[in-house]
Amino acid sequence: MIEKFILAGDTPLHICDSEKGDKTVVLLHGYLESMLVWEEFIPLIYKQVRVITLDIPGHGISNINGTVHTMDYLGDVVSAMLESLGVEKACIVGHSMGGYVALALLERHPEKVESIVLLHSTPNADSEEKKKNREREISLIKSGKKELLTHTAPQAGFAAENRAKFSANIEDLAEIIHLTEDEGIIALLGGMIGRKDQNQMLSQSPVPQLFILGKKDEYITAEVAEAMVKNHPQAAVKWMENSGHMSFIEEPKACAEALLKFMGV
């Protein structure tokens, strides 16, 4: 993997690119993460496909551009990144918040999307309750209490029975939060609050679609996930039986196999 900074439009972007492969997959990380979360997953796929990861602006060491990073803006950044790298089409894998970015890319730049994978993500807009929770997080960060997130968010991503096994990964995620700039977190929270429902757009899109869902996910519960699957019969579905919200860490081989099979490699 070659690590570098590029300009995606007018946004400086921190990326990694394996630069080799007939097909390309872009891995978009979730909220309170960075491209570092993919380090153990990439070795399972990079020999079969070209792999591109990035720090989504506001997280990692990519730029912060204003007080709110809308999903539309981030989708445009990913499109500009692909253009800058000379990639015509890619399979876009979005984990959690990264899925919201992937959906915005699909809506705004469908010609760039060969296929889309919602990895523990959803086309649903935030519920009123979820919006209020995000607003509370913004208030928490503005009052200088970001460290509280490091004690709760990383653990909650894993199935309860997996937390001891993946304690090192949980510590790594806590460190990522610690290093993430407050302004970047607030910008992305604002973007998620304001995002629109993408169910109709996704239903009408002709691109191949895959949902990877965790049976023990506490963020997207099995009940919510099952309703999503029912509403999108056009999408292939892979249930990860022993995963929470982080199957690419909790069941990496099964997750990689599902992705590569979906991509036809």
Convert the pLDDT of each residue in 10-55 to its tens digit. Answer: 999 999 999 999 999 999 999 999 999 999 999 999 999 999 999 9
Domain ranges of the chain: 2-263
Tokens of 135: 């607003």
pLDDT of residue 54: 98
Q: Which residues lie below 8 Å from residue 136, measured CB to CB, with a gap of 6+?
A: none
Closest C-alpha to 177, from 160, 161, 156, 163: 156
**What percent of the chain clears pLDDT 90, i.e. is strictly above it?**
99
Mind listing the pLDDT tens digit for each residue in 101-129?
Answer: 999 999 999 999 999 999 999 999 999 99
Identify the sign of the CA torsion 213, 215, 220, 221. positive
Beta bridge partners of 126: none
Mind listing the pLDDT tens digit for each residue in 199-219?
Answer: 999 999 999 999 999 999 999
CATH class assigned to 2-263 = alpha beta
CA angle 103, 158, 195 (to 5 degrees): 25
